[in-house]
Structure 1
Amino acid sequence: MPASDLYQKLEQSWQTKGRTGSLQSPQKFNNQDFTHLRDYCLSRGLLFEDDTFPAHVSSIGPNLLSEDKLSRLQWKRPMMIERNPHLIVDGVSRFDIIQGEIGDCWVLAALGSLTLQRQFLENVLPKDQGFKENYAGIFHFRFWHFGDWVDVVIDDRLPFLNGRYLSVQPRSRNEFWPSLLEKAYAKLRGSYQNLHWGYISDALVDLTGGVQVQFLLQKPPSDLQEIIKAAAKSQCLMGCTMPGGQSIGKMELKNGLVKGHAYTVTGATEIPYKNGWEDIIRVWNPWGHGEWRGPWSDGSPQWDRVPAEYKKDLCEDKDDGEFWMSGHAFAEQFFSLCICNNTPSFLDFGDQRGTRWSLAMYVNQWARGLTAGGSAFSRNPQYFVQVEEPDLKNYNVVVSLIRKPVNNMPDAQILFTGFLIFRVSSIRWYGVAFFSQYKYKVLKYGFNVSTRDVTNYFYLSPGTYVVVPTTSEEGQEAEFLLRIFLRQAELFQNGFQDIFRRVEGTGSGFLDISDLKNAVQRAGLAVNGQLLHLTALRYSDSSMRICLPDFVCCMIRLETMASKSCSWLARVLWGSQNMENMGLHCINHISQYP
């Protein structure tokens, strides 16, 4: 492919990728436009009926209920249930949620965590809807779906069985955000049946667009308590699961916990106790009741030996499903902990002042005969990461591999996936001869579970590494999304702010894209013209202007790449085996979260 054609293809791909699937411009799921559909219904005095997710057993799924129960299902709008329905009553809270008949505790535990972090909640639950003004029986919610934000439209007909909610039940009879949001998520996943059993890690990522890291608690990291407290301080979403698996069902133990159940982690702190300090963790049950009965539970004797001011702030004796327990008991009783945020900021242990996380994101596929998988992984796509900061001793790289479900059906294909990480001397294509010499000298993660999301964190010493996503067996096909987060020192932000103010000059708060070259020169950076143009497209808005936060991100990225000059583009493209996907590999490498 000639260089000019490749550059044009890069620019077209960049513009397409930058204009759809964002929070500002989400993709329309099933090509349904909420505003147009609502206006149409209002102009004709109709209540919206969603033909793509109808009030029919097809939206429930064939195996969730018996034929007898399916025949007795009723679909009711909130207006048929309550005289004065509301989407939200007195704000959104985890205590609005009570789990229904469907085994979707993993979804509701994630929702419970979402309610604690308003910056994420407002992304999922748009404010332009309700039961008063412009009500037409239509609502919409937003989810992150395989790399893009999508807007999911639903009608407000909810399934009832024997007069009771089939799915989540709101604690307040006239508050309907939990039931409607759950219905939208069921539509995204294909049916209510596809919410019956799942992984809280999937739901947390779908509600935030963030990255999740799981910790198995049979062999927890030695700094687990510090990680949990840092995650709480960093406003992460957290959930945990009990051992037992999906076949156990709702079996409650003598200590009050439930086998195979998902919970929300809602807080973590240390408290003065006896002659020292005790780490305690707060947990919430999405049933809305049923609590831990061991030490630090509601009314337990441990609270009698805590200073009154701590006890007053922390201990509430209510049967609302929320309870405290010690950090030791938490690790002993639960099977896994999941932490999710925009970036792996909790790995900074709550101190983000001197660091930032950059993100490289790639979409590709394993194709039979081209990218073999299994032991023939040398033919798989290869992605490179350069660790440049020798003074960082904490975890500095997070790799997240997400497999796209076939036809959006979670159980349509059992596929074990993972990734390999090799240290290399330079950025180029590596063949089978190179990989055969490594044998066991490699970082390897995944392959032992069929989860959608395989993510892990590492400390990598300075150098160049290649990440190879692969399947466990040769010939397996699927699309995948690979994200690589790199922790870097924040050295230049204040200087870049000064440059912005000098170049901008007008007081508008924006920098014209035409002035970016001047700013780059003031910073003393030597950047190839084509790369500068591509980067400017990435960080500008639809009016081709750049605000201060995006300018800082842009300049930090350019500073990182400046030493590689124009050869950087060619070296990154060398990492792609499929020439048609070159544009996406290069473009997404520049994405960044400061």
Structure 2
Amino acid sequence: YFSEKICKDPKFITGGATRTDICQGQLGDCWLLAAIASLTLHEDTLKRVVPHDQDFDRGYAGIFHFQFWQHNKWMDVVVDDRLPCVRSNLVFVHSADNTEFWSALLEKAYAKLNGSYESLKGGSTMEAMEDFTGGVCEMYETKNAPTNLFLILKKAVERGSMLGCSIDITSSAESEAQTTTGLVKGHAYSITGVEEVNYRGSKVQLIHVRNPWGQVEWNGPWSDNSREWNTIDSSEKTRLLHNSLDDGEFWMEFGDFKANYDKIEICNLTADSLSDDVRKKWEVNLFEGNWIRGSTAGGCRNYIDTFWTNPQFKLRLDHPDDGDKLCSVIVALLQKNRRRLRKEGLDMETIGFAIYEAPDDQDHQGKDFFRYNGSKVRSRSYVNMREVSERFRLPPGNYLLVPTTFQPHHEADFLIRIFSENKAGDKAISARELQHVLNNVLSRRKEVKFDGLTLNTCHSIINLMDVDNTGMLEFEEFKVFWEKLKKWIVSYRLIHLLIISTFELDCSVFL
């Protein structure tokens, strides 16, 4: 057993899961460890990924389980307690407390999910954050940010998003070096609040930042004991400065924040990852599909002769943002299973997407449409990352989304997620929507013994009926399936009656 090999009295978690439990080993997966460190700041989310009701004592069976989001579903990953060691010392991630092992076991489970420890070399923190939350991530550079960045952050906080920020370093020597203003370079902070206050007759935008160390704070304007707090309403001061100790949390004026920090990462969460007390939640639409050589792998717009063969997805934006004329949407294109496929010599494809105004109700636009019509918006560039995501503001209307690899004839499976402030419509149904419809309908049929369709069964139905490879059932495809389903039910009833009649006949002959 584990305790006999590495440690005499091992513990799963000691004194809570904190960032000091995450010390990098000899594997180049700092991107993963940074995401785990951010995860420790969000207790409810952490407990979903790392269930706390397991340890090395009560009912210990030599295994541990963890949960990760993969391609629109949560997966339970079980690992044994054998960890790579050299002379009883862990080779990869480990805790500063050598009796604590949750972080090492979490890393092993994530390696299993992706095929091997080797597959974890190199990556983006946002990739791991999505696998821990099921959310969609965005990254902003504060020195080149959109003019409405403060509003984006304010709405993100209202929606329970996970937000982080950091200061760039120019060399490893600057890592976690402290500035004269109390900020730390190359260090992951979280953003926990966004407010506007009345200050000397005008509005001031403030942002609340947390240092996971629990100490070392900003000492400039609007810091805990600065004079700015003495000139605002006392109730506002009490509400915002509820704890002015050296607890690692502090306020900054938004202009100072942008001047000092370089990057902001937002992980927008879906409804199933949020608590019920979060009132405003993103609406989410999903599409799945494949780029297939000679069929739907048309490449980017540079290859006009094949571009039109790429999968095309309809999107309808009906409802502008509250108090606005435009609709905010985040579009994220994710290529599936690419880390796992590394061992077969297949790495990340270079991917991107374009969105066109849809002129009519045709199911699929041909070459001439794309020859003579430019895109309304598109991803900023084609990149060889697992996911490309962009935020847009578009007028209400009908749109056509075209995801592509850069080169034609390159094969991959993909998932598209569209986050919108208000519900966005589409003219197709996903596997989850199909599951809901069929379970409601079939459960009412008394002649059919029915325990419910699984999501995998519904994916199989869509794969069978999805003629245009969009990963969803368009209206016409659904009509064909519905007619077939009615015939299958009739056939099932006839076969069932035939079996009963045959059985009764056999019994009468026997008697």
Query: Normalising by the residue count of structure 2, what TM-score does the alignment of the two structures yield?
Result: 0.69
SS state at 2:110 partner: helix
Q: Tell me if 1:134 matches 2:59.
A: yes
Query: Tell me, what secondary structure is at the counterpart of 1:170?
Result: coil
Worse-superposed segment, 406-415 or 393-402: 406-415
Whether 1:421 aligns to 2:350 is no
Which residue in 2 is equivalent to 1:230?
Answer: 155
Distance across 2 between alignment mates of 1:391 and 1:158: 50
Q: Is 1:210 the counterpart of 2:130 in the alignment?
A: no
Alignment partner of 1:437 out of 351, 372, 378 = 372
Which blocks of at least 5 consecutive residues in structure 2 are unaligned? Answer: 425-431, 444-448, 454-461, 479-511
Deviation at 1:301, TM superposition (A): 6.1
Give runs of aligned pairs for residues 495-506 of structure 1, distance below 5 A.
none
* Identity among equivalent pairs (%): 30
CA distance in structure 2 between the aligned counterparts of 1:444 and 1:94, rounded to whole angstroms: 38
Matching residue of 2:310: 380
Mark the CA change 1:536 to 1:273 in structure 2 (over 3 Å): closer, same or farther.
Answer: closer
- The code of the aligned residue for 2:48 comes to N
Paired residue for 2:405?
Answer: 471
| Aligned pairs (5 A) from 1:1-400 | 47=1, 77=2, 80-94=5-19, 96-100=21-25, 102-160=27-85, 165-243=90-168, 249=172, 251-252=174-175, 255=179, 261=186, 263-270=188-195, 275=200, 277=204, 279-284=206-211, 295=220, 313-317=242-246, 326-343=253-270, 352=279, 357-368=283-294, 370-374=296-300, 375-376=302-303, 377-389=307-319, 392=322, 393=324, 395-400=327-332
Report the counterpart of residue 468 of structure 2 in structure 1. 577
Shift in alpha-carbon separation, 1:289–1:478, aligned structure 2, 3 A: farther
Match of 1:54 in 2: none
Q: Alpha carbons of 1:227 and 1:112: their partners in 2 closer, same or farther (altered >3 Å)?
A: farther
CA deviation vs aligned residue, 1:454-508 (integer Å, no higher than 9, x gap): 1122222222111000122233322211122344369xxxxxxxxxxxxxxxxxx
**Counterparts of 2:24 and 2:216, CA distance in 1:** 15
3-state SS in 2 of match to 1:362? strand
Distance 1:412 1:232 in 2: 38
Q: 1:460 to 1:327 in 2, by over 3 A?
A: same
Residues 271 and 445 (structure 1), Cα distance of their counterparts in 2 relative to 1, 3 Å cut? closer
Q: Rg larger in 1 or in 2?
A: 2
SS across alignment from 1:447:
coil
User: Residues 216 and 337 of structure 1 are in contact (CA less than 8 Å); yes or no, is this contact kept in structure 2?
Assistant: yes
Counterpart residue type for residue 536 of structure 1:
V
Partners of 1:584 and 1:92 lie apart in 2 by 46
1:298, 1:317 within 8 Å by CA — same for their partners in 2?
no
Post-superposition offset of 1:203: 0.9
Cα 1:381–1:312 change in 2 (3 A) is: closer
TM superposition shift of 1:176: 2.5
Q: Taking structure 1 as reference, are residues 364 and 283 closer, same or farther at Cα in structure 2, changes over 3 Å only?
A: farther
Q: Amino acid of the residue matched to residue 431 of structure 1?
A: G
Distance in 1 between residues matched to 2:351 and 2:7, nearest whole Å? 47
Q: What is the match of residue 388 of structure 2?
A: 454
Deviation at 1:119, TM superposition (A): 4.2
- Which digits, 9 at most, give the CA deviation of each residue in 1:526-562, with x for residues without a partner? xxxxx9986433679997689xxxxxxxxxxxxxxxx
Distance 1:343 1:297 in 2: 33
Aligned to 1:32: none
1:369 Cα deviation from its structure 2 partner: 5.6
Who is 1:407 aligned against? 340
The structural deviation recorded for 1:221 is 2.2
| Contact 1:107–1:203 under 8 Å retained in 2 | yes
SS, match of residue 188 in structure 2: strand
Question: Deviation of residue 116 (structure 1)?
Answer: 3.8
For 2:210 and 2:134, the matched residues in 1 are separated by 23
- Quote the Cα distance in structure 2 between the aligned partners of 1:251 and 1:397: 37
Aligned partner letter, 1:371: A
Report the CA distance between 1:240 and its aligned residue.
3.5
Task: Report the Cα offset of residue 384 of structure 1.
Answer: 0.5
Structure 2 vs 1, CA of residues 465 and 412 (structure 1 numbering), >3 Å: closer, same or farther? same
Taking a change above 3 Å as real, the CA distance of residues 326 and 162 of structure 1, as seen in their structure-2 partners, is farther
Change (3 A) 1:219 1:365: same
Deviation, 1:99, is: 4.7
For residues 252-286 of structure 1, give each alpha carbon's deviation from its aligned partner in whole angstroms, at most 9, with x where no partner exists.
35628777x4624152244879757551332446x
User: What is the alpha-carbon root mean square deviation over aligned residues?
Assistant: 4.5
SS at match of 2:32: helix
Change (3 A) 1:403 1:228: same
Which moves more between the two structures, 429-438 or 178-187?
Answer: 178-187
1:189 deviation in Å? 3.0
Cα distance change on mapping 1:158 and 1:337 into 2, 3 Å:
same
Q: Which SS does the other structure have where 1:157 is aligned?
A: coil
8 Å CA contact retained: 1:363, 1:584: no
State the aligned residue count: 434
For residues 142 and 543 of structure 1, do their structure 2 counterparts lie closer, same or farther at Cα, with a shift above 3 Å needed?
Answer: farther
Distance 1:421 1:151, change over 3 A: same
Aligned amino acid, residue 113 of structure 1: S
Which residue does the alignment assign to 2:429? none
Distance 1:532 1:98 in 2: 43
The answer as to whether partners of 2:312 and 2:402 remain within 8 angstroms in 1 is yes
Shift of 1:304: 8.8
Kindly indicate whether the alpha-carbon contact (under 8 Å) linking 2:204 and 2:253 is maintained by their aligned counterparts in 1: no
Decide which moves more: 535-544 or 356-365.
Answer: 535-544
**Residue 452 and residue 119 in structure 1: after superposition, are their counterparts in 2 closer, same or farther (change >3 A)?**
same
* 1:399-432 deviation digits (Å, cap 9, x = unpaired): 2100121634399535321111001122421011
